[in-house]
Amino acid sequence: MRAWTHLRMRRSFRPFLALAFLLAAGPAMAEYPDRPIRIFLPFAPGGIGDITFRLVTAKVSERTNMTFVIENRPGAGGIASAVAGKTAAPDGYTLAQVGNSYALGASLFKSLPFDVARDFTPVAALAKFDVLLATRGGDLGSVAQLVAFDRAHPGKLNFGAISAGSTQNLAAEMFKMAIGSEATVVTFKSSPELILAMQRGDVDVGFDYLAAFTSAVAQGQLAIIASGGRERGALTPDTPTVVESGWPDYVASSWNGVAAPAGTPADIVARLNREMDEALKSPDTRERLRLLGMEGVGGSPEAMAGLLKSDISRWKGVIDRLGLAQ
């Protein structure tokens, strides 16, 4: 009889134990975050990518109790930054930049110490920027004129871009392949070096982002003749796309976003996404991004996952056709 009574008491006490656990855990869960959140970036301090993340996280901090610590780990093709993010505890206190460069790397490098689609949970896309085609005008003042000149003078043109394996470099290679050109693609260490080569006449067509071309265009030294965006960009509404110009398969754009280590709780990912999305809706944030040559993106984690998946597939086709995998 005593045993039966004891068993009944234990069973009736279980709901109270469960309630006590939830009450104890509730405040701790509600306190997230109770310390600074690290974000690993594969950029050097002061660059556009770095400024983008500092801009958005500062806006989030203004609105919430969240604080962020940016840790710059440039070099090695972004591997050091990605590995630091991948191996961190999936508790919401470590994030990493993930974007188009990692979509390229998934196919460009045969062996990487991480899988961008498997090892990370998307949080939010932050900004996008189309690859633009610029020339000194004249006989190369439009895509049609450029193609006509190239066909009339095979092998004479030089295309220029920065960093072998970069989005800009692959955009140049993809354009060359799309129009069947025999042009030489020349790579430079930095955008200023590319611009200088274009001003000297060493490079006929440059492939880069708006921020790189803005000064030279304002001074009348270069002209942007086309955009690699799928549609005309908000920052270059008067610039036709290569798609409009008759090459429907040519899309060359880039983006960056925030991701968390795989396994990060869904409620934490949702909270981070909500706060960053709100920050990107701010008019002053959008204006500051515009001045940097970028458009704010935002959207759901699922939208960012779809963007990453489609980019991996699209660039894999380009890299495979060009035989560029290393």
Phi, psi of 182 (to 5 degrees): -105, 20
Preceding amide of 33 cis, omega within 30: yes
Q: Which two tokens stand for residue 129?
A: 């920027």
Region 291-295 average pLDDT: 91
Q: What is the DSSP letter of 262?
A: T
Q: Which two tokens stand for residue 81?
A: 């930054």
User: Which residue do the tokens 């780990």 mark?
Assistant: 73
Q: Tell me the helices (H) and strands (E) count for the chain, helix number first.
A: 11, 11
Residue 324: count other Cβ atoms within 10 Å of its Cβ: 17
Q: Long-range contacts: 89-92, Cβ < 8 Å, 24+?
A: 89/261, 90/121, 90/260, 90/261, 90/262, 90/263, 90/264, 90/265, 91/264, 91/265, 91/268, 92/32, 92/33, 92/37, 92/260, 92/264, 92/265, 92/268, 92/269, 92/272
Residue count (the chain): 326
Average the pLDDT over each of 139-153, 267-281, 308-322 and give the range with the smallest value. Answer: 308-322
**pLDDT band per the 50, 70, 90 thresholds, residue 3:** very low
Phi, psi of 316 (to 5 degrees): -60, -40
Q: One fold for both 35-129+253-322 and 132-227?
A: yes
Distance CA 165, CA 93 (A): 31
- Bridge partners, 95 (sequence order): 39
Residue 87: count other Cβ atoms within 10 Å of its Cβ: 12
Region 151-178 average pLDDT: 94
Under CATH, which number does the domain 35-129+253-322 receive?
Answer: 3.40.190.150
Cβ atoms of 227 and 240 closer than 8 Å: yes
Question: What ranges do the domains of the chain cover?
Answer: 35-129+253-322, 132-227
Distance CA 65, CA 288 (A): 23
The pTM for the full model equals: 0.83
pLDDT value at residue 15: 46
Superfamily, domain 132-227 = Periplasmic binding protein-like II (3.40.190.10)
Q: What is the CA radius of gyration of the chain?
A: 24
* Alpha helix (H) residue ranges in 154-230: 167-179, 191-200, 210-218
pLDDT in tens, 51-91: 999 999 999 999 998 999 999 998 777 899 999 999 999 99
pLDDT value at residue 323: 87
pLDDT in tens, 84-140: 999 999 999 999 999 999 999 998 888 899 999 999 999 999 999 999 999 999 999
Q: How many CA atoms lie within 13 A of 141 on its CB side?
A: 3
Cβ atoms of 207 and 161 closer than 8 Å: yes
